[in-house]
Amino acid sequence: MKKIAILTGAGMSVESGLSTFRGGGGLWDEYPVEQVATPEGFAADPALVLEFYNKRRRQLLDVQPNEGHRLVAALEKANNVTVITQNVDDLHERAGSTNVIHLHGELMKVCSSRSPYDARMVQTLTPDNLDIHIGDKAVDGSQLRPFIVWFGEAVPMMDAAVAAMHNIDMFIIIGTSLNVYPAAGLLNYVPHGVPVYLIDPNEVSVGSNMRSVTAIRKGASEGMREIMEKYIR
């Protein structure tokens, strides 16, 4: 049984029909990041921010995990797999992955605007109760906000992600530009001699610290098929 860590980004969910945030046609082209993904933006116009994430949740209900998600989940049949994702969707879980670390939060959850990472204040929304409005309160009486790690906020699950890199036998990176820190810094925790596979149709710079990265210039599903056929024994 191999211990495998997998880092996924927005490119993992593109084949399911979810928009990326970066790149041409990404969500940041439509909504300035400062308005909808910062504490300052929420303070300035909470109604706009709440509706932005309400729309994202409605979109999420209309999509399904793709083959890439399902192949990642299938690795669990004979391996110890941890998925570390920059995505806020729940497609890994819906595909069957059971050990998922969400670095940037979870779209289907909301929390206290006073204490965003107090687990006692986190609520999971249901398909028939997706929208959050001004006046909806957390247990502590504060306005509910998306359970999302916004720009300028700490990444509370980063320690768990680093711990998951300990003694791994393989590291797979899927659909991320490796431009967002601290997630991109997980490369620094890959043990010496451990193979690294990077699945992305675009060229991705991994910096000078990695001596050997096998680049698979394909989408998530096609790339995972190659991983399963060539590198999983």
Q: Where are the domains of the chain?
A: 1-17+65-104+155-233, 19-62+109-148
**What is the distance between the alpha carbons of residues 121 and 115, in angstroms, rounded to a whole number?**
8
pLDDT of residue 208: 56
- Among residues 69, 92, 102, 104, the one annotated as catalytic is 104
CATH topology classification for 19-62+109-148: SIR2/SIRT2 'Small Domain' (3.30.1600)
The Cα–Cα gap between 145 and 121 comes to: 11
Residues in the chain, how many? 233
Common-topology check for domains 1-17+65-104+155-233 and 19-62+109-148 = no
Model's pTM, two decimal places?
Answer: 0.91
Among candidates 142, 183, 120, 127, which has minimal Cα distance to 46? 142
For 1-17+65-104+155-233, CATH gives 3.40.50.1220
Given a cut of 80, is residue 149 above it in pLDDT? yes
183: pLDDT strictly greater than 80: no
SS3 of residue 57 by DSSP: helix
- Report the pLDDT value the prediction gives residue 25, as an integer from 0 to 100: 46
Share of the chain above pLDDT 70, in %: 91
pLDDT over 60 at 29, yes or no: no
Contacts of 96 (CB under 8 A, 6+ apart): 70, 73, 74, 76
List pLDDT tens digits, range 46-92.
Answer: 999 999 999 899 989 999 999 999 999 999 999 999 999 999 999 99
69 is catalytic: no
